[in-house]
Amino acid sequence: MRRTTSTLLATLALLAGGLAAAPSSPAADPAAAPVAPADSSIRAGVTQRDGCVSSVPEPGESTPVDICWTVFKPAGASARRPVPMVLHSHGWGGSRAARGEVQAFLDAGYGVLTFDQRGFGASGGHAHVEDPALEGRDVRRLVRLAAGLPWVQQDGPGDPRLGAIGGSYGGGYQYVGAFELLRTRGTPVFDALAPQITWHDLSQSLAPSGVVRTEWALALSAASLPSDALPPRVYKALVEGAALGTWPDGSIPGTEDMVSFFRRNGPRWHVGQGRRLDIPMLLGQGTTDGLFPLEQGFRNWQQAMTAGARRRSIFVGYNGGHVLPAVLPAGTTADTDPCSRKLAGGDFERLTVRFLDHVLKGRRTTLRGFGRMHLATPGGTCTTIRTPRANTAVEVGTVATLEGVGTPLSYEVAQGPIRVAGTPYLTGTMTALGVQNRAFYGLAVGTSPLDARLVQNNVLPIDEPRPVLGEARRVALPSVAVDVPAGQNLYLLATPVSDTFVLMGSRLPGAVTIEDTIVHLPVVGR
């Protein structure tokens, strides 16, 4: 099923802002307490300076690439009264922040260094999607710039008191910068990170199990066209993926190899090299995010950080992120952030300011929730968990779906009331007699199979390129947080098609049957 042109254009506009369907702001949420405005004398004392630093050339070239920035110095900051610095950057297709976008941090007494990432805004080069050898070195150069400002608090030579903020692509730079500094200096230099709606494994995000999230791949490509941000081979690969139905890995002669291109572009690669970040983080992830879903944030929380860092960190899942309407299968709409309100009395920005005050300034802020994962449900409640692991097994029986054509089918798993929060999965014995067997699975809630709606708009694919006859399989289901009320049921939804993975279903008619199906659920309060 194809989106309309107007929907695609709206999507690109959201992507350019970096926080597609971000969580509700205090202005949109009357129950949230806004950050108190600073008085006009403080605002008047903010100064601004623009410039560019020279960073490493593009591959195969010798000319340094300019990375352009703006520094905002807050009122009262001086060499005698130094302040911490907050690094900021934009989402995909965006550019560095105007003063109003970071005013809350200036009001709180932080300096802000906001920059155009490679390939965007006034910066040169192409976007290599947070390659450590390119964007990683760009961030290192900007940290050196911050360390040379006399009014920035220093913890040691070349080591400014430093936090970082930003969402989506603006979360990716935080990880690549911190990991690169850890690799080269033995310390991440950053003292606190606050990445939002970003990824752990970029290939798995764009193409789980090698099945391309078509809408997002094409939308991200289109959003980079105005500045010609991507290298030409990436545009070619994204089109190939959409046309061939698989993530290009170079196995077909003449096609690109995106597996190799993205191999180092995210925390997963650094974790594979034995690195963990031992710094406090405020992780924000969208429970309804269809590009970098909740599971990607879980993996960063569990794998990219040390156990000690997790004890000093907070994970918040809000209803938002990179969101497109879910039509087939039908989903739900939610745009709330009850967990930030619960923890800090306001939205995620207010929570971020309080978190940075706690970590960078050592203030007693009464902030709570450290060492836990706080997840919003579509109904607007906040559920706190220690782990996303499944703890309950439910026998469902036989689950069948057509391939390529047909409508979603729902199979009852549990009756409400029940609360599920974490990462479910299913096991069973699979039979699929065609080739390139594909189907999509998720959880749904409703009073009956006929009105069951997809939880938080996400499904995940299975991809079986050859016939399967009675073989044991474990099938991943999207991570969720949902309250199933009394009178409604939790269902396992199986569908041959998904509008997120448009044209990525099986190219040949067939059927996938899973017998002796067991759904493994992370039930809260069990």
What CATH number has the domain bearing residue 511? 2.60.120
What mean pLDDT comes out for the span 226-250? 81
Number of domains in the chain: 3
Q: Please report whether residue 41 resides in a domain.
A: yes
305, 414: one domain: no
Rounded (10°) CA dihedral 294, 295, 301, 304: -130
Reply yes or no on whether the pLDDT at 426 is more than 80: yes
191, 228: one domain: no
What mean pLDDT comes out for the span 207-232? 84
Tokens for 39, please give them.
């008085």
Q: Cα–chain-centroid distance for residue 118?
A: 20
Reply yes or no on whether the pLDDT at 387 is more than 50: yes
Reply yes or no on whether the pLDDT at 355 is more than 80: yes
What mean pLDDT comes out for the span 407-433? 97
325, 415: one domain: no
Where is the domain boundary, 224, 258, 292?
Answer: 258
Task: Please report the pLDDT score of residue 13 as a whole number.
Answer: 38
Q: List the alpha helices (DSSP H) in 476-522.
A: none
Q: Please report whether residue 386 resides in a domain.
A: no
3-state secondary structure 306-329: CHHHHHCCEEEEECCCCCCCCCCC
What is the spatial distance between Cα 158 and Cα 139, in angstroms, rounded to a whole number?
Answer: 13
197, 208: one domain: no
* Strand blocks (E) in 201-326: 282-286, 314-318
Contact (CB, 8 A) for 189 and 181: yes
At 526, the pLDDT band (50, 70, 90 cuts) reads low
299, 432: one domain: no
DSSP letter at 18 equals S
Q: What is the CATH number of the domain that holds 51?
A: 3.40.50.1820
What is the spatial distance between Cα 254 and Cα 252, in angstroms, rounded to a whole number?
Answer: 6
Task: Please report the pLDDT score of residue 236 as a whole number.
Answer: 82
Contact (CB, 8 A) for 65 and 141: no
What is the spatial distance between Cα 34 and Cα 349, in angstroms, rounded to a whole number?
Answer: 9
134, 239: one domain: no
Reply yes or no on whether the pLDDT at 476 is more than 80: yes
Q: Please report whether residue 184 resides in a domain.
A: yes
CB-facing half-sphere around the CA of 11: CA atoms within 13 A? 24
User: Higher-confidence residue: 308 or 526?
Assistant: 308
254, 275: one domain: no
Contact (CB, 8 A) for 494 and 440: yes
Reply yes or no on whether the pLDDT at 435 is more than 70: yes
Tokens for 218, please give them.
């094409």
159, 243: one domain: no
β-pairing verdict for 468-476 and 162-167: unpaired
Torsions phi, psi for 71 (to 5 deg) = -110, 125
147, 280: one domain: yes
Task: Please report the pLDDT score of residue 485 as a whole number.
Answer: 96
423, 407: one domain: yes
β-pairing verdict for 162-167 and 85-89: parallel
pLDDT digits (tens, 9 = 90+) for 42-98: 467 999 999 999 999 999 999 999 999 999 999 999 999 999 999 999 999 999 999
Q: Please report whether residue 299 resides in a domain.
A: yes
Task: Please report the pLDDT score of residue 43 as a whole number.
Answer: 63
β-pairing verdict for 510-521 and 409-415: unpaired
Where is the domain boundary, 214, 233, 258?
Answer: 258
At 26, the pLDDT band (50, 70, 90 cuts) reads very low
Residue with tokens 């203030």: 363
Q: Which residues pair with 352 in a beta bridge?
A: none
Contact (CB, 8 A) for 428 and 517: yes
For the chain, the average pLDDT equals: 89
What mean pLDDT comes out for the span 107-114? 98
Range of the domain at 113: 5-201+266-335+344-376
Question: How distant, in Å, are the alpha carbons of 218, 266, 267, 310 from that of 315?
Answer: 30, 19, 16, 9
Lowest mean pLDDT among 143-152, 363-372, 447-456, 458-467: 363-372
Contacts of 507 (CB under 8 A, 6+ apart): 245, 404, 436
Handedness of CA 168, 181, 304, 221 (dihedral sign): positive
What mean pLDDT comes out for the span 354-368? 91
Q: Is 273 left (phi over 0), alpha (psi -120 to 50) or beta?
A: alpha
Helix axes 214-224, 5-17, angle to 10 degrees: 60
Task: Please report the pLDDT score of residue 240 as a whole number.
Answer: 81
Q: Please report whether residue 383 resides in a domain.
A: no
Contact (CB, 8 A) for 489 and 445: yes
Task: Please report the pLDDT score of residue 239 as a whole number.
Answer: 76
186, 211: one domain: no
Torsions phi, psi for 384 (to 5 deg) = -105, 130
Q: Please report whether residue 387 resides in a domain.
A: no
pLDDT digits (tens, 9 = 90+) for 269-294: 999 999 999 999 999 999 999 999 99
Q: Please report whether residue 385 resides in a domain.
A: no
What mean pLDDT comes out for the span 451-477? 95
Residue with tokens 């594909």: 438
423, 481: one domain: yes
CB-facing half-sphere around the CA of 299: CA atoms within 13 A? 22
Q: Please report whether residue 178 resides in a domain.
A: yes
